[in-house]
A = this chain, B = another copy of it.
Amino acid sequence: MIKPYDDAYFMKRALQEAETAYEKGEVPIGAIVVVNNQIIARAHNLTETLNDVTAHAEMQAITAAANSLGGKYLIDCTLYVTIEPCQMCAGALFWSQISNIVYGARDELRGCITMNTKLHPKTKMKGGVLAEEASALLKRFFIEKRNLN
């Protein structure tokens, strides 16, 4: 049976957001929120554009998803994010009580797994979906940035 809406399908949408961030000179990380196979929020990192360390893709996706749902808890929602969330974003996801987090590549230095950030007991997290694509985009960004300086 053909299954059009799988994790790779949605992670590709998150990667499109990451590419938009890349084009803006932002650290290329993208996120979307999905409920019942519908995308209810799309966001990408905007920390440089907004001059705001809190403007990570996930934070904006959480706010946008809550706006879309008309309620602040993201029950039955899945966040797809290209890179493992940091402790700020994982902390926000804790408060949202989101059902699922799916990330692409690990962030072994600053990610919530290394940092031991607590997720909500209702939240399941898995990673490794299109990890190479997410990681390659990030590496390309940092190599380019280094060559410019």
Is A67 on the interface with B (CB-CB < 8 A)? yes
**Which residues of chain B are near A90, meaning CB under 8 Å?**
87-88, 91
Evaluate contact between B92 and A66: CB separation under 8 angstroms.
Answer: no
Taking the closest CB of chain B, its distance from the CB of A111, in whole angstroms, is 11
Q: Which residue of B is nearest A118, CB measured?
A: B115
Give CA–CA (A59, B91) in the complex, Å: 12
Q: Which of B54, B70, B72 is within 8 Å of A92, CB to CB?
A: B54
Give CA–CA (A89, B94) in the complex, Å: 12
Evaluate contact between A54 and B59: CB separation under 8 angstroms.
Answer: yes
**Residue interface mask A90-129, B partner, CB < 8 A = 1:** 1110111000000000000000000111100000000000
Q: Which of B47, B87, B95 is within 8 Å of A118, CB to CB?
A: B87
Is A86 on the interface with B (CB-CB < 8 A)? yes
Within 8 A of B (CB), among A50-73: 51-54, 59, 62-63, 66-67, 70-73
8 tightest A-B CB contacts, nearest first: A88-B91, A53-B95, A87-B91, A88-B92, A51-B72, A53-B96, A54-B92, A53-B72
Cross-chain pairs A/B with CB under 8 angstroms, 12 sampled: A47-B72, A47-B95, A51-B66, A52-B66, A52-B67, A52-B72, A53-B96, A54-B54, A86-B95, A87-B94, A91-B117, A116-B116
